[in-house]
A and B are shown apart, each in its own frame.
Chain A
Amino acid sequence: MATDSPSTTSPSTPSPSTISPSTTQVIRQASIVGLDLGLDLGLDLGLARESGLEDAASDERVNVEGTADVLIKAGRIEAIAPTLTDLPADTQIINGRGQFLGPGLIDLYSQSGQPGHESRETYESLSRAAAAGGFTRVGLLPNTEPAVDSASVMAAIQRANSATRVSSAALAAHSAAPENRSQLLPWATITLGAQGKQLTELAELAAAGALGFTDGEPIVNRVLLRRLLEYMQPLKKPVALWPCDPNLAEAGVVREGPQALRLGLPGVSAIAETTALATLLECIAEIPAWVHVMRISTARGVALLRQAKAQGLPVSASVPWHHLVFDTQDLEGYDPSLRHSPPLGNPADRQALIAGVADGVIDAIAIDHSPYTYEEKTVAFDTAPPGAIGLELALPVLWQTFVSGAQSDTRLSPAQLWQALSAGPAQCLGLTPPRLAVGSPAELVLFDPNAEWSVLPENLRSLSSNTPWLNQTIKGKVSHIWTPTFLAD
Chain B
Amino acid sequence: MTNLPWNRHHIISLADFIPAEYDSILQTALSFQGVLARRTKKVPTLQGQVVANLFFEPSTRTRSSFELAAKRLSADTLNFSPGSSSLTKGETILDTAKTYLAMGTDLMVIRHSGSGVPATIALEMDRLGVGVGVLNAGDGQHEHPSQALLDLLTLCNDLNPEQPSIEDLRGKKVAIVGDILHSRVARSNLWSLTACGAEVHLAAPPTLLPKAFLEAFSAPLITPTGQTIERKVFVHWQLLPALENADFVMALRLQKERMSGHLLPSLREYHQQFGITRDRLKHCAPNVKILHPGPTNRGVEITSDLMDDPKLSLVSKQVASGVAVRMALLYLMGGAKH
Residue positions of A touching B, CB distance < 8 A:
250, 256-259, 261-266, 333-334, 374-375, 378-383
Contact = CB atoms under 8 A, between A and B. Distances in A.
B92 A265 contact: no
B212 A382 contact: no
B141 A266 contact: yes
B93 A378 contact: yes
Given A250-B261, A258-B216, A375 B113 contact: no
A177 B139 CA distance: 51
A265 B15 CA distance: 16
Interface in B23-44: none
7 contacts: A261-B213, A261-B217, A263-B116, A333-B119, A380-B115, A381-B114, A383-B114
A250 B181 CA distance: 15
B217 A262 contact: yes
B94 interface: yes
B216 A378 contact: no
B116 A334 contact: yes
Contacts, number: 72
B206 interface: no
Contact of A265 (B113, B140, B213): B140
Most buried by A among B93, B113, B141, B143: B141
Nearest to A265: B115
A160 B110 CA distance: 47
Contact of B92 (A250, A258, A261, A375): A375
A264 B93 contact: no
B4 interface: no
Contact of A262 (B92, B117, B119, B216): B216
Contacts of A263: 115-116, 142
A218 B73 CA distance: 55
A258 to B, nearest CB: 4
A383 B117 CA distance: 11
Nearest to B218: A258
Given A378-B93, A382-B115, A264 B141 contact: yes
Interface residues of B, number: 29
A333 B121 CA distance: 11
B112 interface: yes
A383 B112 CA distance: 12
B94 A378 contact: yes
Contacts of B143: 264
Given A250-B261, A264-B143, A381-B116, 13 more contacts: A256-B212, A257-B212, A258-B213, A261-B212, A261-B213, A262-B15, A264-B115, A264-B140, A265-B140, A333-B120, A378-B92, A379-B93, A380-B116
Contacts of B92: 374-375, 378-379
Contacts of B15: 262
B215 interface: yes
B210 interface: yes
B67 to A, nearest CB: 24
Given A262-B187, A264-B142, A264-B143, A380 B119 contact: no
A379 B119 CA distance: 12
Most buried by B among A333, A374, A382: A382
Contacts of A266: 141
B212 A258 contact: yes
Given A333-B119, A333-B123, A334-B120, A382 B140 contact: yes
Given A262-B15, A264-B139, A264-B143, A382 B114 contact: yes
B90 interface: yes
Interface string B35-73: 000000000000000000000000000000000000000
A259 B219 CA distance: 12
A330 to B, nearest CB: 13
Contacts of A250: 261
B253 interface: no
B220 to A, nearest CB: 14
Contacts of B326: none
B212 A334 contact: no
B184 interface: yes
B118 to A, nearest CB: 9
Contacts of A374: 92
Contacts of B115: 263-265, 334, 380-382
Contact of A259 (B93, B112, B123, B216): B216
